[in-house]
Chain A
Amino acid sequence: EIVLTQSPGTLSLSPGDRATLSCRASRNVASPYLAWSQQKPGQAPRLLIYGTSSRATGIPDRFSGSGSGTDFTLTISRLEPEDFAVYYCHEYDSSLTFGGGTKVET
C-alpha cells in the first residue's frame, strides 16, 4: 500500500508569497495518478490539480503542479488571502490514497 508523505506539515507565509508544497510517495507514482486538492475549514475538498500538472476547471493559473516518480510539488506563485487552507495530495490507482496534508497559514 502506497504512503504519501507531505511536507512541511505547516507553512507560515504572507499574502503575495510563493508557496511550495511537497508530496513524497513510498513507491513510484505514474504521473496521471497524482492530484492535489484544497480544503478550507468546514468545507469539502476542492480539486486543484490532476494528472500531476493539469489544472481543474476554474482553478487560477497561480496554482501549478509538477514532479515525477516519487516526488511531486504544488506551487502557488503568489498567495491570495483565499489560498490559506489545507492542501492534500492524493494518488488514485485502484483506490484513493491521501497524504496527511499541509496547512498554509498566515
Chain B
Amino acid sequence: QVKLVQSGAEVKKPGASVKISCKASGYSFNLYAIHWVRQAPGQGLEWLGWISMGNGDTKYSQKLQGRVTITRDTSASTVYLDLSRLRPGDSAVYFCSRDSNTKAVDYWGQGTLVTVSS
C-alpha cells in the first residue's frame, strides 16, 4: 500500500535551518509529484511547494520563496524539505503529500513537528 513516512520532530533556534525527509513506498515513485504542506498549531493548511519526480522541477509558495528548497533522491524514493532562516512563526507540523495526478493530493505522511524557539 502507498506509504509516506516522514522523519522525526525537530527543535531549532531562530535563524537555523531544518531538513525534513519523506520516504515513499508502495507505488512507482517516479510517476507522482510530492507536495509539502504545513499547519501551524490550531490553524489551517498552507501549501509550501512541490517537486516533480521525473525531472525534478519545483514550484514554491511565493511567501516562502528564497527560504524553501525541495529536493529528491530517486534512488532512495525520498523527498526532502529544507527551510532556512527559521522564525518562531515557522513552528508547525509539516506534511508531505502525493500528487494524485487528478489535481488533488491523495496520500499524506504522518507529519513532522518543527518547533522554532530560542
Interface residues, chain A, with chain B CB atoms under 8 Å away: 1, 32-33, 35, 37, 39, 44-47, 50-51, 54, 56-57, 88, 90, 92, 94-101
* A47-B35 in contact (CB<8A): no
Number of inter-chain CB pairs below 8 Å: 64
**What would 27 A/B residue contacts be, using CB atoms closer than 8 Å?**
A1-B62, A33-B103, A37-B105, A39-B45, A44-B97, A44-B109, A50-B100, A50-B102, A50-B106, A51-B103, A56-B100, A56-B106, A57-B106, A88-B44, A92-B103, A95-B47, A95-B50, A95-B59, A95-B61, A96-B35, A96-B47, A97-B47, A98-B37, A98-B44, A98-B46, A99-B44, A101-B44
Neighbouring B residues of A94 by C-beta, 8 Å:
59
Residue-wise, chain B 79-118 has the 8 Å CB interface mask toward A (1 for contact) of 0000000000000000101001011111011110000000
Interface residues, chain B, with chain A CB atoms under 8 Å away: 35, 37, 44-47, 50, 59, 61-62, 95, 97, 100, 102-106, 108-111
* Given known A-B contacts A44-B108, A98-B44, A35 and B61 have beta carbons under 8 A apart: no
Instruction: Pick the most buried of B45, B46, B59: most chain A CB atoms within 10 A of its CB.
Output: B45
Neighbouring A residues of B111 by C-beta, 8 Å:
44
* Given known A-B contacts A94-B59, A95-B61, A96-B35, A44 and B110 have beta carbons under 8 A apart: yes
Neighbouring B residues of A39 by C-beta, 8 Å:
45
The distance in angstroms between the C-alpha atoms of A97 and B45, with both chains bound, is: 9
Partner of A47, one of B44, B50, B106, B110: B106
Instruction: Pick the most buried of B97, B102, B103, B108: most chain A CB atoms within 10 A of its CB.
Output: B103
* A47-B61 in contact (CB<8A): no
